[in-house]
């Protein structure tokens, strides 16, 4: 067996360094050695295209502390041995004692005194804080922020319960109205067709027969989102943060919601106290209601299934056979779904190839010029155009949808952004399966 000569050189100089320095932590020493060589080589490459990798300079190794400038600004780094107890003695502990704040203090007037003035030895410039300038948004709440969380859900496909979303029949007009009401909402506007029709189906009718019925109450836990189908509702906010018993318990009226409007969307994200009370302003109102668990499960299950589907499709693409699971899931994450009606030319012979496609549903055919018969048929799970990931060669055939199709697609640039050049991925394992046998697009 023989090693590349550059490798042998590298190992020899490492040997020399090791026998010279006799390090106790061998791995770390080697890691440092190579990291530094790499650094040097890169710097040289940047300096000029024709310069050679630098020879190891013995004196520059292994210690390199102190010489370089510090990107963190305070002038010097700690020596490798010392600097452990840089604890500073707070001299004026009795300056500010606020119950809500830690009792370290800053000097007045925007310049900071101990304990932030540099290091324990007292040398160096004062701390790197900038004094506060104007332009600080004063409405911003400066308090500690606590976290929020929804209940943890696991995708249906990965557990053994058979959940399917509730379905409540609606008329075409009702559906159109509902679609319009939620289409601008940031929680719904990115859904695909299947997801939105499941969501619309899941909305359930909630009649509000009388005036002055509280649908949601400020301060209560919230689980539902509502769309107004019929009637009007008033929104009240009590400055105390929750509805209170007594005459002025509602607080002040801040808004009115009419047919087509909606409220309570935060409840679709997590369980949080309601920010307002919403009450019917007239008799016989009608609402559509959607609860968080249903909403989240619909989105989760469909996304989960689509991802697994894409991953299984990707596994079948020989060009990408050497991708790790992690890489496949990254690609699946980036794939975009597109729908085409029957008869659409998805890729065209002679065009520059820029994206590759997985056929998610429907059928498509490949045609070559001068040949009226299809040269290849694609079914669900089929893929085409993947050579575009590899080179810029023109498409060797056209692919036309035979039925309505749904494809998942990713461009070459997207692929490279995520995983780097395909060539290097292919080089990992020998690319054995001849593309030519499978893909008519490859035969020029």
Partner 1 sequence: MKSVSRMATTALQKTTHPHLHSHSDSSSASTPSSSSQNNNTMASALQEKEFVAQFAEPHTPLPPQEIQTRQRSQDLGHSSRNLSVKDFELVRTLGTGTFARVWLVRLSNPAEQDRDKVFALKVLRKVEVIKLKQVDHVNHERSVLADVAGHPFITTLITSFSDHDSLYMLLDYCPGGEVFSYLRKAKRFDENTSRFYAAEIVLIIEFLHEREGVAYRDLKPENLLLDAEGHIKLVDFGFAKRLGNRETYTLCGTPEYLAPEVIQSKGHTTAVDWWALGILIYEFLTGYPPFWHQNPIEIYKQIVSKPVHFPSEPYTSPEAQDIIRQFCTVDRSHRLGNVQGGAAAVKAHPFFRGVYWDDVYYRKYRGPIIPPVRYLGDAQCFDTYPDEKHGRDVYTHELVKKWDHYFEDF
Numbered residues of the known binding site for 3',5'-cyclic AMP:
265, 274, 386, 395
The answer to whether 5 contacts ligand ATP (rule: CB under 6 A) is no
Decide which of ligand ATP, partner 1, none touches 78; Cβ closer than 5 to 8 Å per partner kind: partner 1
**Nearest to partner 1 of 142, 172 (CB atom):** 142
Contact assessment for residue 329 and residue 307, using Cβ atoms and an 8 Å cutoff: yes
Q: Residue 362, Cβ neighbours under 10 Å: how many?
A: 19
Ranges within 36-55 binding partner 1 (CB under 8 A): none
**Nearest to ligand ATP of 148, 283 (CB atom):** 148
- Least Å distance between CB 178 and ligand ATP? 36
Decide which of partner 1, ligand ATP, none touches 374; Cβ closer than 5 to 8 Å per partner kind: none
Backbone φ, ψ for residue 229 (5° rounding)? -90, -40
The answer to whether 309 contacts partner 1 (rule: CB under 8 A) is no
C-alpha distance across the termini of the chain, in Å: 39
What is the Cα 15 distance to its own chain's centre?
45
By CB atoms closer than 10 A (0-12, 13-18, 19+), residue 368 is: middle
Known binding-site positions? 265, 274, 386, 395
The answer to whether 141 contacts partner 1 (rule: CB under 8 A) is yes
**Nearest to ligand ATP of 148, 342 (CB atom):** 148
**Nearest to ligand ATP of 130, 145 (CB atom):** 145
The answer to whether 147 contacts ligand ATP (rule: CB under 6 A) is yes
H helix intervals, 324-411: 325-334
The answer to whether 144 contacts partner 1 (rule: CB under 8 A) is yes
Decide which of ligand ATP, partner 1, none touches 65; Cβ closer than 5 to 8 Å per partner kind: partner 1
CA distance to 18, 34, 37, 52, per residue, from 29 (Å): 8, 9, 12, 24
Ranges within 315-334 binding partner 1 (CB under 8 A): 324-326, 329-330, 333-334
Decide which of ligand ATP, partner 1, none touches 148; Cβ closer than 5 to 8 Å per partner kind: partner 1
Q: Residue from 11, 15, 51, 76 that binds partner 1 (CB under 8 A)? A: 76
The answer to whether 102 contacts partner 1 (rule: CB under 8 A) is yes
Q: Which of 427, 395, 431, 390 has its CA nearest to residue 412?
A: 390
- Least Å distance between CB 83 and partner 1? 7
Contact assessment for residue 223 and residue 292, using Cβ atoms and an 8 Å cutoff: yes
Q: Edge to edge, what strands does the sheet with 214-216 contain?
A: 214-216, 277-280, 233-237, 252-257
- Least Å distance between CB 102 and ligand ATP? 10
**Nearest to partner 1 of 188, 378 (CB atom):** 188
**Nearest to ligand ATP of 148, 240 (CB atom):** 148
Q: What is d(CA 444, CA 436) in angstroms, rounded to the nearest whole number?
A: 10
The answer to whether 98 contacts ligand ATP (rule: CB under 6 A) is no
- Least Å distance between CB 356 and ligand ATP? 42
The answer to whether 152 contacts ligand ATP (rule: CB under 6 A) is no
Q: Which of 167, 186, 172 has its CA nearest to residue 262?
A: 186
**Nearest to ligand ATP of 2, 146 (CB atom):** 146
The answer to whether 173 contacts partner 1 (rule: CB under 8 A) is no
Q: What is d(CA 263, CA 228) in angstroms, rounded to the nearest whole number?
A: 8
Q: Residue from 12, 90, 316, 437 that binds partner 1 (CB under 8 A)? A: 90
Q: What is d(CA 251, CA 244) in angstroms, rounded to the nearest whole number?
A: 8
Q: What is d(CA 200, CA 185) in angstroms, rounded to the nearest whole number?
A: 14
The answer to whether 146 contacts partner 1 (rule: CB under 8 A) is yes
Q: Residue from 24, 69, 98, 146 that binds ligand ATP (CB under 6 A)? A: 146
Decide which of ligand ATP, partner 1, none touches 94; Cβ closer than 5 to 8 Å per partner kind: none
The answer to whether 74 contacts partner 1 (rule: CB under 8 A) is yes
The answer to whether 266 contacts partner 1 (rule: CB under 8 A) is yes
Residue matched to tokens 């679609």: 179
- H or E segment and range at residue 65: none
Q: Which two tokens stand for residue 43?
A: 């710097």
Q: Which residues pair with 286 in a beta bridge?
A: 207, 230
Q: Which two tokens stand for residue 147?
A: 């976290």
The answer to whether 429 contacts ligand ATP (rule: CB under 6 A) is no
Q: What is d(CA 176, CA 180) in angstroms, rounded to the nearest whole number?
A: 6
Q: What is d(CA 54, CA 41) in angstroms, rounded to the nearest whole number?
A: 6
Q: Which two tokens stand for residue 193?
A: 């067709």
**Nearest to ligand ATP of 60, 148 (CB atom):** 148
Note the residues at the interface with ligand ATP (CB under 6 A).
146-147
């Amino acid at each position: 067996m023989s090693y590349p000569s550059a490798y042998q050189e590298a190992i020899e100089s490492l040997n020399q360094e090791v026998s010279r320095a006799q390090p106790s932590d061998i791995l770390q020493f080697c890691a440092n050695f190579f990291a530094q060589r790499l650094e040097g080589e890169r710097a040289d490459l940047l300096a000029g295209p024709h310069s050679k990798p630098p020879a190891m300079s013995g004196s520059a190794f292994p210690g390199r502390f102190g010489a370089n400038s510090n990107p963190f600004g305070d002038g010097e780094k700690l020596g490798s041995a010392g600097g452990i107890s840089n604890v500073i003695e707070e001299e004026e502990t009795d300056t500010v004692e606020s119950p809500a704040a830690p009792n370290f203090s800053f000097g007045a007037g925007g310049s900071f005194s101990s304990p932030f003035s540099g290091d324990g030895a007292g040398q160096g410039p004062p701390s790197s804080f900038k004094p506060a300038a104007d332009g600080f948004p004063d409405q911003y709440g400066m308090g500690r922020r606590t976290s929020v969380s929804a209940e943890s859900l696991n995708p249906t496909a990965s557990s053994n319960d058979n959940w399917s979303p509730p379905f409540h029949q609606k008329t075409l007009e009702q559906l159109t109205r509902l679609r319009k009401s939620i289409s601008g909402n940031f929680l719904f506007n990115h859904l695909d067709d299947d997801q939105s029709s499941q969501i619309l189906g899941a909305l359930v009718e909630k009649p509000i027969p009388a005036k002055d019925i509280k649908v949601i109450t400020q301060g209560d836990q919230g689980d539902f989102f509502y769309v107004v189908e019929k009637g009007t509702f008033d929104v009240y906010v009590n400055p105390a943060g929750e509805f209170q018993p007594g005459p002025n318990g509602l607080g002040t009226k801040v808004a009115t919601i009419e047919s087509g409007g909606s409220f309570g969307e935060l409840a679709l994200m997590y369980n949080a106290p309601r920010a307002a009370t919403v009450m019917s302003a007239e008799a016989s109102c009608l609402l559509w209601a959607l609860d968080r668990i249903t909403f989240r499960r619909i989105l989760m299950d469909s996304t989960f299934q689509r991802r697994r589907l894409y991953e299984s499709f990707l596994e079948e693409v020989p060009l990408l056979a050497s991708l790790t699971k992690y890489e496949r899931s990254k690609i699946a994450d980036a794939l975009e779904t597109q729908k085409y009606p029957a008869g659409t030319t998805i890729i065209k012979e002679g065009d520059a190839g820029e994206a590759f496609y997985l056929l998610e549903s429907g059928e498509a055919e490949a045609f070559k010029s001068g040949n009226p018969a299809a040269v290849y048929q694609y079914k669900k799970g089929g893929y085409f155009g993947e050579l575009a990931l590899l080179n810029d060669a023109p498409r060797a055939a056209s692919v036309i949808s035979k039925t309505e199709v749904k494809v998942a697609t990713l461009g070459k640039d997207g692929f490279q952004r995520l995983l780097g050049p395909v060539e290097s991925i292919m080089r990992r394992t020998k690319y054995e399966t001849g593309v030519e046998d499978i893909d008519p697009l490859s035969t020029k």
